[in-house]
Homo-oligomer: A and B are copies of this chain.
Amino acid sequence: MQKTPARLHLHIENRRQSLWIYHITDELWAAAAMRHKKLAGRLDVTIGWDGDILDAALRTADCMIAPNPPLVWLPSDIALTNNSGAHGAKCEDYCAMAMLMLATRMPGMLASHRAARWEPLFTTPIAGKTALVIGFGDLGSAAGRAAKKLGLKVIAVTRSGKAGRPADAVYKVSRLESALPQADFVVVATPLTPQTRGLLNRDRLALLKPEAGLINVGRAAIVDHDALRDMLIAGRLSGAVLDVHAPEPLPAESPLWTTPNLVVTPHISCDDPRYIDILLDRWFANFARFAAGKPLLNQVDRKLGY
């Protein structure tokens, strides 16, 4: 273990075009520094926007907080960590809500609402149904907790075929086809990697039960949203709730806005408005480990890409 220098230069890089909740402003940094006084006292901090001071900062920076750092150019002796775990609580709420909305046939009743039509749809309680959660990291395990809380059986689908609590059963992604027909709800909660891109294609979506519901809180490119739209128009599935889209913002002319039995939300499923406070608290916790010579949490596996 190397000895940590007494003072370090932290550079924080922001992108103006990203949403305000992701901006690490002077004010939010100052508040975090107050919460972590002793550690913050060892840091010289620069805050840049859209690369305005990036070249100069990188000449002296010992560490950096940045959105979407490109993995390809990052030297291999630089430790890279992510913010995994910051999204759990909100994601759990959103997935519970989306599963209950699908179980209650809310997408159909919202269409009746828009047309001022009284059209009751009666549904059985959700307990005892089955949730299939694709990806069981930060978001997926939150989806699993949501499902367990509602009395569902949870089947996880993971790369390794392993998953911790609260999964009742686990399938390797290579056996996805055997898992899909069992699902009353599918929650897509995996990161986008070359392996997950296009995972839920038209053929695999066709394996779902006629009354299954689909929720995507992962990334749009994992699911063939066009095939999903065709199924919903044909009256297949009980509905879908999509929080992630391509591109974002979803353009006003996207046919998804008017697809029947589809609820579109604007990528809000897993973000707390206190996101930066949480991120900086977690960064300080990792910095404390770094200063103590302990291994860092949330290290990114560059080969897997997350």
Identify the A interface with B (CB < 8 A): 19, 21, 89-90, 92-94, 96-97, 100-101, 103-104, 106, 109-110, 112-114, 116-127, 149-150, 248-250, 252-254, 257-258, 263-268, 271-275
- In-complex Cβ contact of A119 among B112, B263, B266, B273 (8 A): B266
Q: Which residue of B96, B265, B271 is within 8 Å of A109 (Cβ)?
A: B265
Complex contact A150–B96 (CB within 8 A) = yes
The 9 A-B residue pairs with the shortest CB-CB distance in the complex, in nearest-first order: A118-B249, A97-B100, A89-B125, A122-B273, A116-B257, A120-B266, A116-B252, A118-B266, A120-B268
Asked if B116 and A114 sit within 8 Å, CB to CB, the answer is: no
Report B-chain residues with C-beta under 8 Å of the C-beta of A264.
113
User: Which chain B residue shows the least CB distance to A271?
Assistant: B122
Copies of this chain, whole number: 2
Given known contacts A97-B104, A113-B257, A150-B96, A122 and B272 CB-to-CB distance under 8 angstroms = yes
Across the interface, A94 reaches (CB within 8 A) one of B104, B117, B265, namely B104
Closest to A104 in B: B97
Which residues does chain B contribute within 8 Å of A120, judged by CB atoms?
19, 266-268
Tell whether, in the assembled complex, residue A96 and residue B104 are in contact, meaning their CB atoms are under 8 Å apart: no
| Interface of A: prevailing SS | loop
Q: Which residue from chain B places its CB closest to the CB of A99 in the assembled complex?
A: B97
Known A110-B263, A118-B266; further 4 A-B contacts with Cβ < 8 A: A97-B97, A97-B101, A113-B263, A149-B150
Contact of A273 among B112, B124, B258, B268 (CB under 8 A): B124
Residue in B100, B123, B257 whose beta carbon sits within 8 Å of that of A100 in the complex: B100
On whether the beta carbons of A93 and B125 are closer than 8 Å, the reply is yes
Q: Are A112 and B272 in contact (CB under 8 A)?
A: no
Residues from chain B with a CB closer than 8 A to the CB of A113 are: 257, 263-265
Q: How far is the CA of A39 from the CA of B274 in the complex (A)?
A: 61
Q: List 26 A-B contacts (CB under 8 A).
A: A21-B122, A89-B127, A90-B123, A90-B125, A92-B125, A93-B103, A93-B126, A96-B96, A97-B97, A97-B100, A106-B265, A110-B263, A113-B264, A114-B114, A116-B252, A116-B257, A116-B258, A118-B250, A118-B266, A120-B266, A122-B268, A122-B271, A122-B272, A124-B273, A125-B272, A149-B150
Chain B proximity of A95: nearest CB distance (Å): 10
Q: In the assembled complex, which residues on chain B have CB atoms less than 8 Å from the CB atom of A116?
A: 252-254, 257-258
Chain B residues whose CB sits within 8 angstroms of the CB of A274 once the complex forms: 124
Inter-chain CA distance A123–B21, complex, in Å, is: 11
